[in-house]
C-alpha cells in the first residue's frame, strides 16, 4: 500500500455550555479512544473541545453523547490524514513539577523544570491533560521521598509512556503496558528520546496476565509504585489486578477521575488500602492509595 495515500479523519468540534462541560466532553472522548483532546478558548471566553477519530461511527457516538447529556453543540468535520496531527501546531510545554513536559518538536531550552520530551504519535499521552500532570508530580514525590534505592514502577495504560519515562528520569526502572498497539513503539521511542531507554521496557501482556505472574511469585512481590491514569469505569474493572501488581508496602496512584465523583470509585475498590493523598487540578483528581 502506498504510504502517502490520504485517509479520512473525522474531527469532532464541541462548543460546550455550562460549568464542567468541557471536562465531561473530554472524559467521553477519552472513553471512546480519542488519541488527543484539545480545549480552545475563543472570543468572550467561549470554550470548544476538539478531538477526532479514525472512523465516522465513533465520531458520531461522541456527538450523540454530547446531545444526550446536554453538554453543548457538536459537529463532525471530515478531513484528511493531515488533520490527525493538526493539534501539534497548538501544543505547548506543560508544567508538572519537577518536570516540564515538552512536545518533542519544540525547543526545551530555558524552560523551568526537568525537561520531559514527548511525541505521542497517535497514542494517548501528550502530557497536556491535568490528570497526567497530577500523576507526574505525585510520582516524583513518592520516588524522591523513598531515598536513593532503585524502584520498580508500572505504568498501566501507558499510551505514549509519559509516566514511565518520567519515572525513569527520576532513577526508577519502569514498565509500561497498554492494549493500544501503538503504545509500545511510542513508549520506547520516547524513552530513547529522553536518554532512559535502558530503564524503560514495554510489556505486551494484559494486566491480568501480569497480575497472575505476581501471584505465582514470578515478578517478586509486585511494583513499588503503580500508576493508572485511566477512567473510572476502567479502574473499577481492573481494580483486583491493580491491587495485585502493587507491592504490599507500595503505592497505587489512580487518576482520570473527576473531582466530584472520585470517592464513589474508590469506595467500590477492594479493601486493604487506604487513601493517603488526593491531588486536584481543575475538575480532576489523582488519588494515591497506600
Cα distance between residue 50 and residue 271, in whole Å: 39
The C-alpha cell of 132 is what? 497526567
Cα distance between residue 186 and residue 165, in whole Å: 11
**Where does the pLDDT of residue 85 fall: very low under 50, low under 70, confident under 90, or very high at 90 and above?**
low
Angle, to 10 degrees, between the axis of helix 162-169 and the axis of helix 183-193? 30
Inform me whether the pLDDT recorded for 284 exceeds 80.
Answer: yes
The C-alpha cell of 127 is what? 502530557
Angle at the Cα of 13 (from 8 to 15), degrees rounded to 5?
A: 170
Is the bond into 98 cis (omega within 30 degrees of 0)? yes
Inform me whether the pLDDT recorded for 91 exceeds 80.
Answer: no
**Where does the pLDDT of residue 26 fall: very low under 50, low under 70, confident under 90, or very high at 90 and above?**
confident
DSSP SS3 for 120: coil
Average pLDDT over residues 201-211: 96
The C-alpha cell of 282 is what? 481543575
Tens-place pLDDT, residues 235-258: 999 999 999 999 999 999 999 898
Domains located in the chain, CATH noted: 9-89 (3.30.70.260), 91-289 (3.40.50.150)
DSSP SS3 for 172: coil
Contact 16, 25 (CB under 8 A): yes
**Predicted local distance difference test score (pLDDT) of residue 20:** 75
Cα distance between residue 179 and residue 197, in whole Å: 21
Contact 221, 248 (CB under 8 A): yes
DSSP letter at 270 equals: P
Cα distance between residue 228 and residue 164, in whole Å: 11
Position with higher pLDDT, 61 vs 26 = 61
DSSP SS3 for 160: coil
**Predicted local distance difference test score (pLDDT) of residue 4:** 42
Of 106-110, 119-123, 174-178, least confident by mean pLDDT is 119-123
Cα distance between residue 43 and residue 33, in whole Å: 29
Contact 102, 118 (CB under 8 A): yes
Contact 161, 154 (CB under 8 A): no
Amino acid at each position: 500500500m502506498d504510504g502517502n495515500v490520504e485517509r479520512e479523519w473525522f474531527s469532532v468540534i464541541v462548543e460546550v455550555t455550562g460549568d464542567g462541560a468541557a471536562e465531561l466532553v473530554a472524559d467521553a472522548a477519552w472513553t471512546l479512544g480519542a488519541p488527543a483532546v484539545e480545549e480552545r478558548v475563543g472570543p468572550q471566553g467561549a470554550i470548544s473541545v476538539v478531538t477526532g477519530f479514525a472512523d465516522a461511527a465513533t465520531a458520531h457516538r461522541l456527538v450523540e453523547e454530547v446531545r444526550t447529556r446536554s453538554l453543548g453543540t457538536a459537529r463532525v468535520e471530515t478531513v484528511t490524514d493531515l488533520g490527525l496531527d493538526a493539534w501539534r501546531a497548538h501544543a505547548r510545554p506543560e508544567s508538572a513539577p519537577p518536570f516540564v513536559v515538552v512536545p518533542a518538536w519544540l525547543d526545551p531550552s530555558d524552560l523551568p523544570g526537568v525537561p520531559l520530551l514527548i511525541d505521542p504519535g497517535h497514542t494517548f499521552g501528550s502530557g497536556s491533560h491535568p490528570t497526567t500532570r497530577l500523576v507526574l508530580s505525585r510520582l516524583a514525590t513518592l520516588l524522591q521521598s523513598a531515598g536513593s534505592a532503585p524502584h520498580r514502577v508500572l505504568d498501566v495504560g501507558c499510551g505514549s509512556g509519559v509516566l514511565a519515562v518520567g519515572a525513569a528520569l527520576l532513577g526508577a526502572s519502569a514498565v509500561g503496558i497498554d492494549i493500544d498497539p501503538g503504545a509500545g513503539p511510542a513508549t520506547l521511542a520516547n524513552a530513547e528520546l529522553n536518554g532512559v531507554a535502558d530503564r524503560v521496557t514495554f510489556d505486551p501482556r494484559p494486566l491480568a496476565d501480569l497480575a497472575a505472574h505476581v501471584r505465582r511469585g514470578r515478578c517478586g512481590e509486585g511494583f513499588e509504585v503503580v500508576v493508572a491514569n485511566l477512567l473510572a469505569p476502567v479502574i473499577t474493572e481492573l481494580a483486583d489486578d491493580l491491587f495485585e501488581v502493587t507491592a504490599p508496602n507500595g503505592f497505587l496512584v489512580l487518576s482520570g477521575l473527576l473531582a466530584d465523583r472520585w470517592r464513589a470509585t474508590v469506595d467500590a475498590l477492594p479493601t486493604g488500602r487506604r487513601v493517603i493523598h488526593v491531588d486536584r487540578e481543575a475538575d480532576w483528581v489523582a488519588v494515591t492509595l497506600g
